[in-house]
Amino acid sequence: MDSFEDDDTPCQAAPTQPGVTYLRFSNDQHDFFSLNVNGPALVQVTVLSHTVSGAQAQVRSPLKPGYVCPGNGDDPVNSTDRIGAFGTVPSGGGNTQFVVDLPPGNAQYYIRVSLPSSTGNGQPYYLRWEFISANGAPATRDPLFNSNPNQPYLPQYNPDTLTNIPLNGTAVYYWSGMQSLWPYDIIQVQIVGTNTLVNCAPGNPGATVPNTFANTWGALGTVPRGRLTVQFNAIGGYIIRLRVMQGSVQKYLDEKPLKVGCG
């Protein structure tokens, strides 16, 4: 028995997370899964061990205008539109995999796994989706933050490049890997002075431009990847912090030291 039933329509869609493999059963013609994505993002969908030849997996749009849940959003065909490529289970059963390119913006999408007829065979199959990078490599599901402009997709090969800048110099920091943020998540930055860096007295965050993040947490929004440019106009040591908040709960924190005109 499929513990996620009923899941036959967008309004009944079972919520999912990237990188998790879900066991399901082909009890009905349609199985719906929901996924919340903060685009732009490349999403790879994989269906494994499906026993029904011709079964099809698609990524579907958010509910179209005029469709709501509860209500007519229960229409499994007309309430959403297919996005991009789709996958078809081969003759005799097996696996299928495809990639879709989702547009900018935070939205709830759906994956629909459909049988060729209205009668399912009750057999198990597996579904998984994940973010991938532009070169096809798996993309991290966790936020990343550093000073390397080549950082977004392969952080293990792209360490920080910025540790010391001259007075009145400009520092640029990049974040990425935030496609899995939910609408109530927020990205924040804080800049503080520190005495922990060798040969540097604490810097003055109030002399930064912009000074929005001086000794306080300032919001960057929820854009899944981007950059922050700050000019430092006072000698000293600094810590640049980035965090992701879900309501009042801190989900992620990273920080980078920076020497300005010292050390």
pLDDT of residue 121: 79
29 and 90 part of one domain: yes
119 and 154 part of one domain: no
160 and 59 part of one domain: no
| Tens-digit pLDDT profile for residues 105-134 | 788 999 999 999 877 778 899 999 987 765
Number of domains in the chain: 2
| CB-CB neighbours of 219 under 10 Å | 12
Residue ranges, the chain, pLDDT below 50:
1-4, 140-141, 152-157
Q: CATH number of the domain at 102, please.
A: 2.60.120.380
Q: Cα(15)–Cα(97) distance, rounded to whole angstroms? A: 20
128 and 148 part of one domain: no
Q: Cα(101)–Cα(260) distance, rounded to whole angstroms? A: 41
50 and 84 part of one domain: yes
On whether the pTM is more than 0.75, the answer is no
Structural domain ending residue among the three candidates 88, 110, 132? 132
150 and 215 part of one domain: yes
Nearest to 143 by CA among 175, 184, 104, 103: 175
Domain of residue 29 covers 10-132
For residues 53 and 82, the answer to whether their CB atoms sit within 8 Å is no
pLDDT of residue 182: 54
pLDDT of residue 67: 96
